[in-house]
């Protein structure tokens, strides 16, 4: 029974550490740009988009599709950077051990 209690205690400690990592990720910022900086996207470490900045020179009624593509590229890159940050944070917590499940952030 002592082994079970020890496992339960370790699980609770890990849960607390994961919550701390999640809180820290929420405070961190990643930035990505497209079109040579014409579109810039900022997201938190969890991948939630905080802001999108668009250079007025890229706004062209005749070519909305290009602007849409630039926004998509910048958003995708910001989320990719956030995912990399998440993986690095969790990896440092688990000592590089891969978890058998996907984290909720």
Asked whether residue 103 is domain-assigned, the answer is no
Evaluate whether residue 22 is within a structural domain.
yes
pTM listed for this prediction: 0.74
Q: Which residues share a beta bridge with 30? A: 43
Quick: pLDDT tens for 36-86. 999 999 999 999 999 999 999 999 999 999 999 999 999 999 999 999 998
100 assigned to some structural domain: no
**What is the domain extent for residue 66?**
2-94
Lowest mean pLDDT among 1-5, 21-25, 92-96: 92-96
Task: Tell me whether residue 21 is in a domain.
Answer: yes
For residue 91, what are the contacts with CB-CB under 8 A and spacing of at least 6? none
Query: In whole angstroms, what is the distance from residue 95 CA to residue 70 CA?
Result: 37
Characterize 40-54 residue by residue with b for buried, 16 or more Cβ atoms within 10 angstroms of its Cβ, and e for exposed.
bbbbbbbbeeeeeeb
Q: What is the CATH number of the domain that holds 51?
A: 3.30.1310.10
pLDDT at residue 103 greater than cutoff 60 = no
Does residue 104 form part of some domain?
no
> What is the spatial distance between Cα 73 and Cα 76, in angstroms, rounded to a whole number?
5
Determine, yes or no, domain membership for 99: no
Provide the number of structural domains found in the chain: 1
């Amino acid at each position: 029974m002592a082994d079970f209690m020890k496992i339960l205690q370790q699980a609770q400690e890990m849960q607390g550490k994961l919550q701390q990592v999640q809180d820290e990720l929420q405070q961190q910022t990643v930035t990505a740009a497209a079109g040579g900086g014409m579109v810039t996207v900022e997201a938190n470490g969890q991948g939630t988009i905080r802001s999108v900045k668009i250079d007025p020179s890229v706004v062209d009624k005749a070519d909305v599709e290009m602007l849409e593509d630039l926004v998509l590229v910048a958003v995708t890159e910001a989320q990719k950077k956030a995912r990399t940050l998440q993986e690095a944070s969790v990896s440092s917590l688990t000592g590089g051990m891969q978890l058998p499940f996907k984290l909720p952030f």
